[in-house]
Amino acid sequence: MAVIGVSTSQDSHPANVIYNKNHLRYPVQTLPVNPKGGLINREILYQSVEDIQADIDLAVIAVRAQFVPKVVEQCIKNQVGGAVIISGGFSEAGNSSLQQRVVDMAKEASFPFIGPNCLGIYAPDYVDTFFLPGERIIYPDKGNIGFVSQSGGVLVDQMVKFAGQGIGISLGVSIGNKACIRETDMLEWFDQDPGTKAVAFYVEGFDKGEGREFIEKTRLCSKPVIVLKAGKSKKGIEAASSHTASLAGDYRVFSQIMNQYCVAEADNEYELTSFCESLSCYSKAMNGNVGIISLSGGHGVIAADACELHGLSIPRIEQATMDTIQEKLSEEIKNIVSLVNPLDLTGSSMDSDIVTAARHLSRDKNIDCVLALLIPYSPGISADIGAKLSHVARNEDKPMIAYVPNEDKYRIIIEGFELNNIPVASSVEGAVLMAKALKRYRPC
């Protein structure tokens, strides 16, 4: 990787941050470029990519906008694989002709690039072109979510949320003005990537006719697609136009089309996080009939309210199901439980009671998905409850979603679910939103 624009006097320059971070922390061979040449930290500072003898897979361009066309020309001449153009000052600043000049050069030479006006790419364990100091960013672990964002800030912020919820990413891409590589290109790439199970997008807008193309490609994609669409209001549309020069379009129409064509639309960042975790575990849609197991009547009520708010139903379970559960429960709780959906097993229940309820609720024909709302401080629950319930979910082949408070003290329970690919929410509403994702996503 060549980082073009490295400063000899300003160590906080974006190019320097990118160069130092990758040179010191990542396996990619990183080479600095500045027209002045010389040395930087005893390493050769190349005057141009044309002076580099090694094959360059990626050029990160962080120079003033007016110098970008010349740098791109040099990259093309030196057969560089592609580029991330960090530089701003193009169409988002009213300088569309300069951006088009770069696009025309790149198209003629089949030279792909991301940007301009972007952060670029973060590939866990490989490369990070974000011009943000590594110690300032909270990175999620390597995982199976591919995330594409027009906004670099939203991408980084979402990475923080992913890390907090234990969600890993396969690749994060900030496409900025998306003058070359666009959402449709990334969708095709992620569809073929074996390390990605679900693809999420933060979208501000599309060029004329591009929204239709994007929707058509999501229909052909073999993996769940999640979209957080910004620019829903008049002011939001104006802000999107000034941010990345996007056409926000008629949100209402686009939202209805997404709902019709297999896209799980997240209404906000909170939903986006929940949707990503749920759909990275399950690609099987459901009708929205939820069975709730709770150790607290209050948690069951909160979940019931949230289900109704988010368009999920809580159906009656079969009498035979209730009878079977009742028969197999511990003698100590048989007469104090409520087996009407939501099931209230009370705080006196044991692991065996929760497992029994989950197993037979999963077999009920009226239930599409089981929510297990756990209170880990209940005396009868063991550290193995997550693993035990995961075993039930895998054997019964019905989606299960758990709620466990996200605290280090309960980490062993959470890991019991996560290691078995069962999504875990840190709030009751978060668990409901994960179920909502399964209803919103319908494979075509």
Whole-number Å distance between alpha carbons of 78 and 75: 5
3-state secondary structure of 39: strand
Quick check: do 1-114 and 284-440 share a fold?
A: yes
pLDDT in tens, 24-72: 999 999 999 999 988 888 899 999 999 999 999 999 999 999 999 999 9
Phi, psi for 357 (deg, rounded to 5): -60, -45
Q: How confident is the model at residue 259 (pLDDT cuts 50, 70, 90)?
A: confident
Say which CATH topology domain 284-440 has: Rossmann fold (3.40.50)
Mapping DSSP to helix (H, G, I), strand (E, B) and coil, where does residue 202 land? Answer: strand
Arithmetic mean of pLDDT, 179-202: 97
Structure tokens at 188: 């095709």
Least confident range of 145-149, 217-221, 228-232, 437-441: 228-232
Structure confidence by residue, pLDDT tens digits, 342-378: 999 999 999 999 999 999 999 999 999 999 999 999 9
Nearest to 313 by CA among 294, 339, 274, 287: 287
Ordered by start, the domain boundaries in the chain are 1-114, 138-281, 284-440
Q: Kindly tell me if the per-residue pLDDT of 443 is higher than 70.
A: no
Query: Are the CB atoms for 243 and 91 separated by under 8 Å?
Result: no
Q: What is the pLDDT of residue 235?
A: 63
Judged by average pLDDT, the poorest of 32-36, 372-376, 383-387, 439-443 is: 439-443
- Whole-angstrom distance, CA of residue 214 vs CA of residue 204: 13
First to last CA, the chain: 40
Collapsed DSSP state (helix, strand, coil) of residue 107? helix
Closest CA to 82 of 96, 68, 72: 72
Q: How far is CA 306 from CA 292, 303, 365, 427, in A?
A: 12, 5, 22, 11
d(CA 280, CA 401): 12
CATH class for the region spanning 1-114: alpha beta
Confidence band, pLDDT 50/70/90 cuts, at residue 249: low
Answer whether 156's CB lies under 8 Å from 137's CB: yes
Fold of 138-281: Rossmann fold (3.40.50)
Q: HSE (CB half, 13 Å, CA atoms) of 416?
A: 21
Label residue 253 by pLDDT band (50, 70, 90). Answer: confident
